[in-house]
Amino acid sequence: MLEKLIELDTNLLVYLNAFNATFWDYFFWLTTDITIWIPLYVTILYTIFKSHGSKGIWTVLALILVITLCDQISSAILKPLFERPRPSREPALEGLLHHFNNYRGGKFGFVSSHAANSFGLAIFSSLLFKNRWYSLFIMSWSLVNSYSRIYLGVHYPGDVLAGAALGLLLGWLVFLLFQRFAKRMLGNLLHKDKVYNCKLPIYTGLLSIMIILLASKALL
């Protein structure tokens, strides 16, 4: 059964990785870089402090906890535990995958830290903001960011799916704990009728995507 799943995972990777072009090489190369998304992260923090005031530090600490758990569990625990080589490090796949800039990533790939971190941030902030347009944007962003790892040939689809599941689980659990803490210690910080203005993170994220698209076109 496990061998069949591994074979399916490998075949799916080869299939998905084959859809490449120079424009998308640059697009996903820029997308997978954390620095391009710094404005998005900053505006998310701004939205939190704008809504929560000085108490926003507790919300930010909870968000940092989500990212830390996602990153450390995926990188420091699961990758060394399973020791599954990245496809870019697999001799049997040499010549079958498309790699841009000869990027290979680290030694092990299960689970994807990119996917875990992206979806952890997405579910926590979605549950916090309760804004459908923001949720649609940030979940779509997580999918594109995670797929970039498959496109670049450094993760199997199974790595990405497991990373996404880990991020969603940890983000949801931390939010539930934070919700209880906020109710007891911070009053009505997360009141069900509280409205968050999420336009700035959405616009900033879309602007970043537009910059990536224009930069990819310019680099052709």
Q: For residue 119, what pLDDT is reported?
A: 98
| pLDDT at res. 2 | 79
How would residue 188 be classed by pLDDT, with cut points 50, 70 and 90?
confident
pLDDT top residue among 141 and 189: 141
Class of domain 2-218: mainly alpha
Q: What per-residue confidence (pLDDT) applies to 133? A: 96
Is the pLDDT higher at 186 or at 50? 50
| CA–centroid distance for 195 within its chain | 25
Give the pLDDT confidence score for residue 163 in this predicted structure. Answer: 98
Mean pLDDT of 112-133: 97
Mean pLDDT of the chain: 93
Mean pLDDT on 184-192:
79
Query: pLDDT digits over 14-37, tens only?
Result: 999 999 999 999 999 999 999 999
Sketch the domain layout of the chain as residue ranges: 2-218
- pLDDT value, residue 185: 79
Query: Phi-psi bin for 130: left (phi > 0), alpha (psi -120 to 50), beta?
Result: left
Q: In which band, very low, low, confident or very high, does the pLDDT at 114 lie, cut at 50, 70 and 90?
A: very high
- Let me know if 184 is exposed, middle or buried by CB neighbors in 10 A (0-12, 13-18, 19+): exposed
Distance CA 118, CA 199 (A): 19
Residues 118 and 149: beta-carbon distance below 8 Å: no
- Percent of the chain exceeding pLDDT 70 equals 100
Banded pLDDT at 8 (limits 50, 70, 90): very high
Asked if the model's pLDDT at residue 193 lies above 80, the reply is: no
| DSSP output for 65-119 | HHHHHHHHIIIIIIHHHH-PBPGGG-GGGTTTS--GGG----SB-SS-HHHHHHH
Segment 50-67 shows an average pLDDT of 94
Whole-number pLDDT of residue 154: 95
67-105 pLDDT, tens digit per residue, is: 999 999 999 999 999 999 999 999 889 888 998 988 988
Is the pLDDT confidence value at 195 over 90?
no
Mean pLDDT of 129-157: 96
